[in-house]
Structure 1
Amino acid sequence: MPAPSQSRAPGPATARLPALWADLADLVSSDARLSAFATRAACVLVPFGLALVLLVYGTGPEPRRNWYGDPLGNDFAQVWTAGRSALEGRGGEPYDLPVHLANMKAAFGQDCRFAWHYPPVFLLPAAAMALMEPQPAYLLWIALSVALFALTMRVAAGRMDLAFVALAHPLVLSNLAYGQNALFTASLLTLGAVLVDRRPWLAGLCFGLLAYKPHFAALAPVLLLATGRRDCLAACLATVLVLCLASLALFGTAPWSGFFGTLGDTNRIILQNAAAGLDLNASAFGAVRLVGGAMATAWIAQVLVAALALGVACRAWCRPTDAALRAAALVAAAPMLSPYLPVYDLAPVVPATLLLALAAHRAGGLRPHERVLICCTPLFAVTREVAGLTGFPLGFVLSVATLACIAHRIRPWTVFEGRHRTGRGGVDIQALTGPAAGESGRAA
């Protein structure tokens, strides 16, 4: 008589599924587990990402082209080309699109089709890069990007391990691979925001250096003026003035005439014709256009979102607020003011999220929706692909979610609580945020 059948023990894959699900659930319920997972992931992603950039994007079988057949550094190719034109006394050529494209074709091949929209102050670093051949220039560009971004995250967090985790963000790899400048932008915004009270002149210098991207730089002077930070504002304006005068002295008036003369073309190429692709623009304007909305509707949405972002930043800066949250509000709000926000320019979201996590840690821990936001970080790697395939503006949604989490942390009743406590017990209003602010200052 055959022996009775016995239930078979679950196989390895079946046995691991419940444990895997439990581990994933822990990531959105435990700060410790989320931090440990992020650290382990960074140990793999950072060296892998840097090696990928260096070997695949920084070298290639043909001179000045990578292993994908694209120009070395992709978008960096036009920075080098514009810089070389400026070095050779032809600083106005980058603003003449046919001539600029011809210069790029001569240097890198016929696949280059990037228009130059930067103000002439950006010709200063571009010319410095063009002193070298494209490959060493690109490698130096990404090395400076990584170094400045890592230093900034270290200053903001006060801990190198958190800075290392920030380097693992998909937006960091995206910027390095394409030779974009958003890591510089995010670094300067963040340094200015976290140093504004302790080193006002240095903070102003950082804000002023953002003159190469005026649509990102505009928010900081407004907040400095509104909050009476005159030293920082003076340093910011002086830096911008020096940069403008330096570009005039080195390259003449032709670049400035070309820049102002092509502003209308920039609007037509970037916003009206969406020459870079509707899937690339992560702004409110771009989100409406992506789903088929009219230009007028897109502009209305952009104005509304920009006003909300400005309101969050003003609330954080004009009322007693945790220093990290105040900095996060500026860094997260600045990109949302622009109607053109390529997905790689979402890089300020990285320090904004880091500063949000620091403020949450001091306040007792992350809230569930904040953990969910951090767990969604890998989605930044596919924002353009999702937008192109589904028409869903994932990049815009993630950036809005980040700003919303920051706004949720900024309590609207802090001022009233402070006045009440000061009136009754003689407690200074800074006592509400002083320990947090002081801790942030010491950590940085």
Structure 2
Amino acid sequence: MRFPFGKFRWPLLLASVLGVYWVSVSYPPLFDFTVFWTASRMAESGQALQAYDLDFLQQAVRQLRPQSQWPFGWYYPPTFYLMVYPLGRLSLGSSYLFFCLISLLGLGGVLYRLLKWEGVLWGVLSSATLLNFFTGQNGLLTAALAATALWNLEKRPILAGVLIGVLSIKPQLGILFPIALIAGGYWRTLWVAGVSALLFMGGAVAVLGIDTFWAWLQVIPLSRLSFEDRYTAWILMPTLFSLGRQLGFSVVQAYAGQVLGTLLAIWAVWKGWRNQHASAPPLRYALLMVASILATPYAYYYDLTWMTVSLVWLVSAIRPEAWQPWEKVLLGLVWISPLLIGLHFAVPVPLPQIAPLLFMGMLLLILRRIRMTNRPMCGWGNPALLHENGWRNGSK
């Protein structure tokens, strides 16, 4: 196996499965998906606008979750609303299985292309994937969209642009894609992505009504307040902002720290993508997936499927014998980071979650690998660093 975890490979996989089961004891199944399904039922009954009414949504969801004290909210743009709209025609259980299986198949398909069945194994059994499947969240879907878009970037730029446009269902995760496309000179993909996002939003407004668009804009400030002053949100958010709040920083100070992290992510993407012929595409793609999580103040544990894809892409590009011991330790910690965040919820501990610091380390690790492959050696990148079945100098 090519994952650089040495003799800890199987214990890590086992810990992931058992850890998610442990978290599930404290976290009700289908918890998050219940909100998706309730909103889709509202749209199905002609009350799509009511999903953005937090009090109305609370009452509707509590009919299904009467024991839960967690505050519910619908902060998604009309594009994601349109995507889940058909689920209201099915029962809660059937729509959950359909949503999760389609998302899992999409992610598994792209992981198979990256690293065959080993990539699927590490992707499907990662704690990020299992937690998504357990709660019914959309991290599998967004990671599949982003990874498939990048996979098709070179050979099918128009398809890549369409998929990036569809990623507007969670706009906070796609803010660095324009930076990467501009740096790499992928102008056609950039224009297609912009047009696709506008058409997608237009279609959502046409089906759900223009009022849903204005309601979404009005509810965005409320979504910000929902995580700025809630400790239970901070422990589930692997961002520099949440880390700052856990350390006792004010909201302004925590945002200042997040801005520094965002600037670091922008710099890294620009540096890694500005010469697309000088480094292997998997390294650039892995870099963008990591940077996208680091750049936003609003990401949760279920979004860390992006980190899983980044790890698979990174491993597919580097020969097993080329990994340094410290790199193996760092990547192992990154891989289990969703589980550590989930355990914060199940077993409260007075320690801040260190996930964003691990992501910064992984970002710099990938930049280091890109620089190493850029060193000329007989006209090629250093062959000791690239997998024999991988990429060299942007050509496969």
Q: TM-score, normalised by structure 2?
A: 0.87
Cα deviation 1:155-206 (Å, max 9, x = unaligned): 222x122221221111111111111111111121222223211221221122
Using the alignment, how far apart are the partners of 1:89 and 1:165 within structure 2?
42
Identity of aligned residues (%): 22
Indicate the larger mover: 315-324 or 390-399. 390-399
Indicate the larger mover: 134-143 or 352-361. 352-361
Alignment of 1:200-211 (within 5 A): 200-211=157-168
Q: Does the 8 Å contact 2:150/2:285 carry over to 1?
A: yes
Q: Please say if 1:74 is aligned against 2:31.
A: yes
For 1:312, give the aligned amino acid: A
Report what 2:351 is aligned to: 391
Which of structures 1 and 2 has the larger relative contact order (alpha carbons within 8 angstroms, sep 6+)? Answer: 2
Alignment of 1:115-126 (within 5 A): 115-126=73-84
Q: Does the 8 Å contact 2:265/2:294 carry over to 1?
A: yes
Q: Does the 8 Å contact 1:323/1:437 carry over to 2?
A: no
Using the alignment, how far apart are the partners of 2:314 and 2:336 within structure 1?
18
Q: Please say if 1:224 is aligned against 2:192.
A: no
Report what 1:130 is aligned to: 88
For 1:367, give the aligned amino acid: Q
Cα deviation 1:83-127 (Å, max 9, x = unaligned): 111122211111111111112123443526311111111111221
Q: Please say if 1:277 is aligned against 2:233.
A: yes
Report what 2:270 is aligned to: 314
Q: 2:286 aligns with which of 325, 328, 338?
A: 328
Report what 1:366 is aligned to: 323
Q: Does the 8 Å contact 2:108/2:124 carry over to 1?
A: yes
Q: How far apart are residue 35 of structure 1 and its match?
A: 6.1
Q: How far apart are residue 338 of structure 1 and its match?
A: 1.0
Report what 2:172 is aligned to: 215
Report what 2:256 is aligned to: 300
Indicate the larger mover: 280-289 or 368-377. 368-377
Q: Please say if 1:172 is aligned against 2:129.
A: yes
Aligned residues: CA RMSD: 3.3
Cα deviation 1:386-434 (Å, max 9, x = unaligned): 48413222222332232232122121893xx66xx9xxx9x6xxx5489
Q: Does the 8 Å contact 2:107/2:140 carry over to 1?
A: yes
Q: TM-score, normalised by structure 1?
A: 0.78
Report what 2:222 is aligned to: 265
Q: 2:156 aligns with which of 199, 202, 218?
A: 199
Using the alignment, how far apart are the partners of 1:33 and 1:337 within structure 2?
26
Report what 1:286 is aligned to: 242
For 1:316, give the aligned amino acid: G
Report what 2:363 is aligned to: 403
Q: How far apart are residue 152 of structure 1 and its match?
A: 1.5
Using the alignment, how far apart are the partners of 1:390 and 1:344 within structure 2?
22
Q: How far apart are residue 285 of structure 1 and its match?
A: 0.6
Greater radius of gyration (CA): 1
Using the alignment, how far apart are the partners of 1:155 and 1:141 within structure 2?
22
Alignment of 1:147-166 (within 5 A): 147-157=105-115, 159-166=116-123
Using the alignment, how far apart are the partners of 2:90 and 2:167 within structure 1?
24
Q: 1:249 aligns with which of 206, 210, 229?
A: 206
Report what 2:103 is aligned to: 145
Q: What secondary structure, in the 3-state scheme, does the structure 2 residue paired with 1:288 have?
A: helix
Any unmatched runs of 5+ in structure 1? Answer: 1-29, 58-66
Q: How far apart are residue 438 of structure 1 and its match?
A: 10
Q: Does the 8 Å contact 1:31/1:366 carry over to 2?
A: no
Q: How far apart are residue 32 of structure 1 and its match?
A: 8.1
